């Protein structure tokens, strides 16, 4: 089987806008949560978000081009440029007809929709933003990344809610293995901290409301006092290529993208299926695809949303997939630091796995002060620990019952 490897990574996140800053924050257990600043949230039940800070799109794209992009697209281009550069592809002779883009997105340019709709109501259709459609639709992140690099191969968007970024990596893996592409720019992006999106999630009773005055404590996966997720934003992008292609051009290989599995609960539009069987199936499929036994996975980066429903169900899911090994395996949710980055979450958390393998470090679950009895895994509370990691898995669960998992392995 053709082996797929990762040669570049890029990130824009609430705790850092490059790989080094992001990873230092993860290792230090730094929270990226705070009061919402994008709009007046005083009338909202939840007034907390994990916003990207100090983001300068002009470091990655022309200012005129940036003004024609929604925030989620700007994030995607920035993370893609970082990954492209780290992979040594800038100025290279890579065959752009054999290069592809697969980016996950969930909500698109919702702030553009809000702005244009407000102008429609206030001043009529002639005052709407001229580029409303191309700035708003979810595929424009992938399209703009292709334009930025001149990529001529397949360019597509996965839309599976919070599993979108993980599914994008799975699609990239399949494209490389099948020979349909030598190089794939893959990941996920989201920029949905807006009044409309936050209000809609509030109506679902999905967001944390108990910690408005202490926002950094609000995302607390597996903790008995959790009360909902915290919306985040950003992008995570990796360069996936065939091992042969990477070696032929002398690229530095960071990690192997070894396996992918996906399933659907077919149960409910928002709630996970109570038994956890669907998520466990996705994990087992990813392990089988990677040809690795459950005991070979030292670290599992959990979906870990900090909601009442997700965390105990995911605990059962992990136990079913990993069996007795689940008692020994390290598990953590880095959403405790980044918030829930929606479509970007899975890609960013796969990057966490790659860095954990590289440095032999198990990231912490911060705010895990009092573990829920129904969440009895080793969730690395508060402080990360060092250890050997030859393989790691990252799973994502999305509205609609979407389950996805990727397995990454140390490259030898």
Mean pLDDT of the chain: 97
DSSP 180: S
- CA distance from start to end of the chain: 16
pLDDT at 412 (0 to 100)? 85
Confidence of residue 33 (pLDDT cuts 50, 70, 90): very high
In a domain, 254, yes or no: no
Is 105 in the same domain as 159? yes
> For the packed helices 140-149 and 71-86, what is the interaxial angle rounded to 10 degrees?
40
In a domain, 253, yes or no: no
pLDDT at 1 (0 to 100)? 77
Task: Give the active site residues.
Answer: 162, 303, 340
Is 265 in the same domain as 344? yes
Is 176 in the same domain as 35? yes
Is 28 in the same domain as 167? yes
Q: Is 204 exposed, middle or buried (0-12, 13-18, 19+ CB in 10 A)?
A: exposed
Specify the CATH number for the domain of residue 109: 3.40.47.10
Is 165 in the same domain as 145? yes
Closest CA to 11 of 49, 55, 63: 55
Is 268 in the same domain as 210? no
The pLDDT of residue 176 is above 90: yes
Q: What is the pLDDT of residues 262-294, one digit of tens each?
A: 999 999 999 999 999 999 999 999 999 999 999
Its pTM stands at: 0.97
Domain that holds residue 275: 259-407
Q: Contacts by 323-326 with C-beta closer than 8 Å and gap 24+?
A: 323/294, 325/294, 325/295, 325/297, 326/377
Secondary structure of residue 378 in the 3-state scheme:
strand
Is 179 in the same domain as 204? yes
Closest CA to 52 of 96, 79, 83, 15: 15
Is 40 in the same domain as 168? yes
Confidence of residue 400 (pLDDT cuts 50, 70, 90): very high
Is 216 in the same domain as 304? no
Spatial neighbors of 121 by CB under 8 A, at least 6 apart, are none
What is the number of domains present in the chain? 2
Spatial neighbors of 172 by CB under 8 A, at least 6 apart, are 4, 100, 102, 181, 184, 186, 238, 240, 257
């Amino acid at each position: 089987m053709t082996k797929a490897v990762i040669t570049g990574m890029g990130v824009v996140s609430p705790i850092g806008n490059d790989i080094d800053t992001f990873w230092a924050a993860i290792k230090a257990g730094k929270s990226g949560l705070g009061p919402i600043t994008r709009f007046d949230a005083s009338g909202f039940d939840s007034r907390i978000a994990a916003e990207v800070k100090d983001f300068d799109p002009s470091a990655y794209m022309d200012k005129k081009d940036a003004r024609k992009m929604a925030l989620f697209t700007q994030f995607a281009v920035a993370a893609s440029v970082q990954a492209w550069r780290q992979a040594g592809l800038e100025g290279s002779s890579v065959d752009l007809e054999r290069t592809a883009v697969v980016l996950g997105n969930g909500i698109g340019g919702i702030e553009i929709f809000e702005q244009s709709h407000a102008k429609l109501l206030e001043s009529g259709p002639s005052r709407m933003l001229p580029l409303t459609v191309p700035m708003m639709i979810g595929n424009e992140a992938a399209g703009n990344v292709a334009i930025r690099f001149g990529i001529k191969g397949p360019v597509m968007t996965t839309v599976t809610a919070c599993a979108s970024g993980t599914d994008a990596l799975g699609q990239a893996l399949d494209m490389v293995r099948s020979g349909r592409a030598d190089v794939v720019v893959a990941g996920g992006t989201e920029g949905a901290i807006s009044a409309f999106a936050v209000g809609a999630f509030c109506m679902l009773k999905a967001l944390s409301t108990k910690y408005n005055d202490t926002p950094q404590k609000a995302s607390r996966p597996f903790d008995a006092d959790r009360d909902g997720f915290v919306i985040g934003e950003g992008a995570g992008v990796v360069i996936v290529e065939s091992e042969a292609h990477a070696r032929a051009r002398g690229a530095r290989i960071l990690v192997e993208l070894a396996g992918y599995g996906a399933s659907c609960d077919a149960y409910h539009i928002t709630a996970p299926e109570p038994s956890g069987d669907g998520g466990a199936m996705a994990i087992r499929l990813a392990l089988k695809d990677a040809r690795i036994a459950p005991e070979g996975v030292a670290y599992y980066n959990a979906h870990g949303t900090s909601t009442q429903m997700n965390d105990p169900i995911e605990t059962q899911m992990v136990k079913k997939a990993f069996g007795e090994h689940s008692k020994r395996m390290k598990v953590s949710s880095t959403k405790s630091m980044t918030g829930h980055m929606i479509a970007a979450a899975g890609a960013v958390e796969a990057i966490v796995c790659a860095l954990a393998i590289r440095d032999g470090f198990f990231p912490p679950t911060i705010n895990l002060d009092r573990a829920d009895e129904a969440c009895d895994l080793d969730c690395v509370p508060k402080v990360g620990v060092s250890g050997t990691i030859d393989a790691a898995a990252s799973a994502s669960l999305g509205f609609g019952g979407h389950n996805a998992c990727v397995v990454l392995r140390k490259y030898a």
